[in-house]
Chains A and B, each alone.
Chain A
């Protein structure tokens, strides 16, 4: 059965991935990235030879466990100090461009 790894990455796929990642790439960049990313993915294909049936996925080196603390109010980051580093702020909040439709 052909796996997704068997076919070489296309220019159209790279353009789609850029859109998903909220990046604009020029035509020239698209050519460059397509070749480079396809080479990297082809190198990664060497893992295809490995039998991983019955092997668990390892997302993290640690045995995860819940971490608890008492529900006590503590100092947090200073709001004004945080907002002073934002590109735009207003009334104690981050200011962003319009999100929904046209303004009334």
Chain B
């Protein structure tokens, strides 16, 4: 038997060929978790027994001559806001602590059908609201490159699981940057697919017009392999695309960008973006240019209003989605002598401060007298942003920006100032508002030696172009 390969694509090939067993792959990754989990706290639960059982089934299937799936034997970590039947799904909130969902999310089923093995449920900012994983009710996750720094968020646990070798791939959810920003801060690849490309059945809802599930991976090819497995229509999610989607091909992953038109978004290179991050972006642009792409700076004027629109729209939708946590059907109940008292006591004890802040912000933005001025106006601004991106895509195949304004910041640096924390998402939010795909690719380090991510953006269903450019960047990263 050979040693366990490090990428998902190589693991699956080795397991299919019989060069390594799924059981060995699982043990290698459980050992990696054992070595660093106490220090990093990436996981809400490590599913060692379930992973070993799944590996046994895959090895038995191979022995019986069955055809194995494209992710055979590949461990995957799941953000703990995706439902796993009979396995606690907490959203890192006290209000759902101990809840065991009665069904699996569609992405979980699809991964398992492809042979992947769920090895852990990962930590997140409570209900995916945050940019540092500090809002978890179960304590923060640490950045594996420097444990005094945050991993980003909200999918910080999934980003760290991949960066620390707990699993070659992981799933996160991205409402305003919650896959791409932690991917950048942890030095891994993170994709937010096109809105509607991946089923959200079984993803605990935060802001339904923005939420999207996507992969983290150590390589662009692994992110593509995971995307190819989870993408596609699901009859249980009526917002998923009916039309067949174009899978990412080997040709896309060859990273040939000659003749591609690449626009650098001027508005995302200004105030608030650190100089070392800007330098890496310029180097990335130069690398694409050297590879034959036609690169130039371009303006997407309404882009700068993304943050304002987002922090009215997302909390408004959250205030509605989180109304369901009322102590009746699942999770925490704090008893009181009447029903309103029970609702109020349960929600006040179960939600943390950031979730309360966003529920109140959203309730206010939707309330009588303010609806038109806040929520209504934000939806119109969203149209302007989508219009300006559509105009840019008439001239460019993809756009380029930093993923995050800075490298990983210290614990507590932004916890007292929510607005400062929200600014971490200034580059990632526009794609969610438009419903377009975007990917973060590691591209060198900042002055502090911590990872920098470059973001590639494409129009809806532009994943093949996105991966083409991502592969080119990966190949030329310093």
Q: Which of B320-379 contact A (CB under 8 A)?
A: 326-333, 335-345, 347-348, 351, 353, 356-357, 359-361, 363-364, 367, 369-370, 373-374, 376-379
Considering only CB atoms and an 8 Å cut-off, how many residues of chain A contact the other chain? 52
Q: Is the CB of B378 within 8 A of A59?
A: no
Q: When A50-B381, A61-B435, A62-B435 are in contact, do A96 and B328 touch as well, CB less than 8 Å?
A: yes
Q: Known interface pairs A47-B378, A50-B384, A58-B383. Does A21 touch B319 (Cβ–Cβ under 8 Å)?
A: yes
List chain A residues, Cβ under 8 A from B386: 58, 61
- Give chain B's interface residue range (CB within 8 Å of chain A): 35 or more
The reply on A73 being an interface residue by CB < 8 A is: no
Complex partner residue of B340 from A22, A25, A52, A56, CB under 8 angstroms: A22
- CB distance B380 to A37 under 8 Å? no
CB-based contact A24/B435 at 8 Å: no
Q: How many A-B residue pairs have CB under 8 A?
A: 166
Interface residues of A in 19-38 (CB under 8 A from B): 20-25, 29, 33, 36-37
B21–chain A nearest beta-carbon distance, Å: 33
Interface members, chain A 71-91 (any B CB < 8 Å): 77-78, 81-82, 84-88
The one of A58, A61, A96 in contact with B380, judged by C-beta atoms closer than 8 angstroms, is A58
Question: Is there an interface contact between A44 and B435, defined as CB atoms closer than 8 Å?
Answer: no
- Give every chain A residue within 8 A of B422 (Cβ-Cβ): 40
B342 touching A96 by the CB < 8 A rule? Answer: yes
B206 CB → nearest A CB, Å = 15
One of A33, A59, A77 near B360 (C-beta < 8 A)? A33
- CB <8 Å contact, A23 and B373: no
Complex contact B196–A62 (CB within 8 A): yes
Q: Which of A23, A39, A57 contacts B383 (CB 8 A)?
A: A57
- Rounded to whole angstroms, the CA-CA distance of A44 and B346 in the bound complex is 31
A–B complex contacts, Cβ < 8 Å, 30 sampled: A9-B364, A13-B364, A14-B364, A21-B319, A21-B347, A23-B344, A24-B348, A36-B418, A37-B361, A41-B361, A41-B364, A44-B378, A50-B302, A50-B384, A52-B381, A52-B384, A56-B380, A56-B383, A58-B386, A59-B379, A60-B209, A61-B435, A61-B460, A62-B196, A85-B102, A85-B330, A86-B330, A96-B328, A96-B339, A98-B339
Q: Contacts A24-B344, A40-B422, A41-B364 given; 7 further ones with Cβ under 8 A? A: A23-B356, A39-B418, A43-B308, A44-B378, A59-B379, A86-B328, A97-B338
Q: Which residues of B pack against A, CB within 8 Å?
A: 99-103, 195-196, 209, 235, 238-239, 302, 305, 307-309, 311-312, 319, 326-333, 335-345, 347-348, 351, 353, 356-357, 359-361, 363-364, 367, 369-370, 373-374, 376-384, 386, 417-419, 422, 433-436, 460
